Amino acid sequence: MTKMKSILYFLILFTAALIFTGCDKSPKLIEDPEAYVASVEKWQENRLEGLKDKNGWLNLAGIYWLEDGVKTLGSDPSNDIVFPAKAPAFIATLSIKDPSVHLSVNEEVELFYKNEAVRELDLSFDSSGNPSYITHGDFAWYIMKRHHSLAIRLRDYKHPAIEALDHIPSYPIDPDYIVEARLAPFDEVKTITVPTPFQDYTQDYKCPGELHFKLKGKKLTLLPFSSGDEYFIIISDETSAIETYGAGRFMYAAPDSSGRILLDFNKAYNPPCAVTEFAACPMPPPENHLPVKIEAGEKVIALH
């Protein structure tokens, strides 16, 4: 073999090797890995702070579904709506006739609305965007509306779960778990109904198409749900119910300034149902089970 043929042969092999290697490896999407890791660590800190916040999930102490009629409220078991033991025995009466709930406070109890004592009040729901928050001691509660059902959502600002959770277990941050996805739009936006842990309560989402991407050498797809300028995605994978929460994890993705859709599995996080029984979390549609281990993002949270 002549020297020229040897060089050509080497170049052909080298090019083929590059092509072969590139076929199974995603391009690097992070220019500064250290800065990226720091940004995810900050995101993780914010996640924990958000769970512990007064409007977070860790202080939820009850959901009480309401039916029309006059209902008594307090910690005494004889009430129609029984609050936790540290609440007053007999607090108030609710007159419920959807779409209205009227509060009448018992004379020996002080309830507050906007930091002022209240005796009578028509309560607005969370669906209005401005719910009537009623407070007493460590407790705060308001009326939530889901479809045609009403319920009291109760918070306890001294809930033991707040102190019990000092960190969120997570996999090591791995930039290789950032992948670029392509949206294959449907001819028409689809409505997808997903179940929740509450029997007979489902949630509907608008799905614009399929996200196609490649991870661990496999071609994969996910159904994203429209959420403003972002996509809300509920996933399960081969770690679900083993190392990660059994009912799946949540993610958000949005096109960047160049129009790319980046899926960052390091920010796959537990739904509220992982830390409280008083939340109605959407579960992943069957199409969103990924037949690979996603060893990135949050793991199971154990509250003691």
Q: Which domains does the chain have, with CATH numbers?
A: 60-158 (2.60.200.20), 166-288 (no CATH)
- Residue 68's pLDDT band (boundaries 50, 70, 90)? very high
pLDDT per residue as tens digits for the range 142-179: 999 987 889 999 999 999 999 999 999 999 999 999 99
| Cα separation, 57 vs 11, whole angstroms | 59
| pLDDT value, residue 259 | 82
Burial class (CB in 10 A: 0-12, 13-18, 19+), 269: buried
- Strand arrangement of the beta sheet that strand 69-74 belongs to: 81-82, 69-74, 92-97, 100-105, 120-122
pLDDT at 21: 38
Q: Is 14 helix (H, G, I), strand (E, B) or coil?
A: helix
Secondary structure of the chain: what % helix, strand, coil (to 5)?
Answer: 20, 40, 40
Helix (H/G/I), strand (E/B), else coil: 95:
strand
β-pairing, 69-74 vs 81-82, is parallel
Q: How confident is the model at residue 19 (pLDDT cuts 50, 70, 90)?
A: very low
How far apart are alpha carbons 139 and 134 in whole angstroms?
8
Strand partners for 165: none
- Name the more confident of 237 and 24: 237
End-to-end CA distance of the chain: 73
Secondary structure element (H or E) that encloses residue 16, with its range: helix 3-23
